[in-house]
Amino acid sequence: MKTRITELLGIDYPIFQGGMAWVADGDLAGAVSKAGGLGIIGGGNAPKEVVKGHIDRVRELTDKPFGVNIMLLSPFADDIVDLVIEEKVKVVTTGAGNPGKYMARFKEAGITVIPVIPSVALAKRMEKLGVDALVAEGMEAGGHIGKLTTMSLVRQVVEAVSIPVIAAGGIGDGHGVAAAFMLGAEAAQVGTRFIVAKESNAHPNYKAKIIGSKDIDTVVSAQHFGHAVRGLKNKLTKRFDEAEREAFRQDNPDVSIFETMGAGALRAGVVDGDVENGAVMAGQIAGLVHKEETCEEIVRDLYEGAREVIAQEAKRWSE
């Protein structure tokens, strides 16, 4: 099957693996790309040398296309932009901001640019800037999120732009992928399910917490004073909730707490496996993620699952 996205990128399946900070390293991205999806290295807050190591690792694992996600709030964002150009990375996704100031350099380098956007306004601005496609990410997603749900956002973005759209947020199996296509998306991005992949180096405690979670176990922290972030409930999110309630009571709240409380928390959760005091980012679909599987099994299940659902429904609707 072909979409503008599979054609643009030269991938076998219309499946992206989200570029998750600390989780999406060379091993994970390489395994997803090898399986025929688009593996994406999560730049996160990592310095250039670390991301370079991930790029080298993907290239050891496969010759297939892969991407790098540049997290625009990172102090190293400029360096990662230099790196993807030096390394001739073909695909870049961006998150947590507007990549406008880098566009001329990306285009000059022939890079396919795919910003993640949380609203129609930003989608239109990005299309005018000349980006190649958009990931429309709903607030079901884990990590830093906007305000709209995937259902509402994807449909409105597809209607508002002519470039292809990849749906993200709340997609964890073939049904979700099929739903994304029903909204007009031409690929789906999946994060949470890949955290528990066999090739994922996320700490076993983190994987176990996702596998053991149910639909209502995620919360959004720092919604009102910092950057809204979705993750599994734990001691850290309780402390965030308390700080937020306290900040609401004050006329001039000290919001720096929301930056300091986050610093290092993601590493603690993902790498050290401190799933109580660390950040355990995950999307609302975590309750659907039941077991550890290889990236090949996950990509295949997402694709074949969607095929089956779409074929069944096509039959039903044509009768």
Q: Contact region for ligand TUI (CB under 6 A) — 8-16, 117-125, 180-188, 234-242? A: 117-125
Q: How far is C-alpha 67 from the chain's CA centre?
A: 12
Beta carbons of 67 and 19 less than 8 angstroms apart: yes
Only one residue has tokens 């720096």, namely: 256
Residue 280 contacts ligand TUI per CB under 6 A: no
Residue 146 contacts ligand TUI per CB under 6 A: yes
Q: Which of 118, 138, 176, 269 binds ligand TUI (CB under 6 A)?
A: 118
Tokens coding 284: 């609302």
Beta carbons of 143 and 169 less than 8 angstroms apart: no
Q: For residues 41 and 8, what is the distance between their CA atoms, to the nearest angstrom?
A: 19
Torsion of Cα atoms, 58 then 63 then 65 then 68, to 10°: 20
Q: Contact region for ligand TUI (CB under 6 A) — 2-10, 54-62, 114-122, 305-313? A: 114-122
- Closest residue to ligand TUI using C-beta atoms: 143
Only one residue has tokens 């996600």, namely: 69
Q: Which of 5, 15, 55, 71 binds ligand TUI (CB under 6 A)?
A: 71
Q: Which of residues 190-229 bind ligand TUI (CB under 6 A)?
A: 227, 229
Q: Contact region for ligand TUI (CB under 6 A) — 7-15, 82-90, 144-152, 212-220? A: 144-152
Residue 188 contacts ligand TUI per CB under 6 A: no
Residue closest to 190 by CA, chosen among 210, 169, 205: 169
Count of residues engaged in binding ligand TUI, rule: CB under 6 A: 20
Q: What is the 3-state secondary structure (H, E, C) of 32-60?
A: HHHCCCEEEEECCCCCHHHHHHHHHHHHH
Q: What is the DSSP letter of 199?
A: T
Q: At what angle do helices 150-160 and 120-129 cross, to 10 degrees?
A: 40
Q: For residues 80 and 309, what is the distance between their CA atoms, to the nearest angstrom?
A: 39
Is residue 28 classed as helix, strand or coil in its secondary structure? helix
Please identify, using beta-carbon distances, which residue of 24 and 309 lies nearer to ligand TUI: 24
Residue 279 C-beta: closest distance to ligand TUI, Å: 8
Q: Which of 34, 54, 64, 144 binds ligand TUI (CB under 6 A)?
A: 144
φ, ψ for residue 274, nearest 5 deg: -85, 85
- Contact map string, positions 31 to 70, toward ligand TUI, x by CB under 6 A: -------------x--------------------------
Tokens coding 31: 């395994």
Residue 143 contacts ligand TUI per CB under 6 A: yes
Residue 305 contacts ligand TUI per CB under 6 A: no
Beta carbons of 12 and 34 less than 8 angstroms apart: no
Q: Which of 47, 97, 184, 253 binds ligand TUI (CB under 6 A)?
A: 97
Q: Which of residues 252-271 bind ligand TUI (CB under 6 A)?
A: 262
Q: Which of 40, 122, 157, 188 binds ligand TUI (CB under 6 A)?
A: 122
Q: Which of 61, 68, 96, 134 binds ligand TUI (CB under 6 A)?
A: 96
Residues lying near ligand TUI in the complex (CB under 6 A) are found at 21, 44, 71, 73, 95-98, 116-118, 122, 137, 143-146, 227, 229, 262
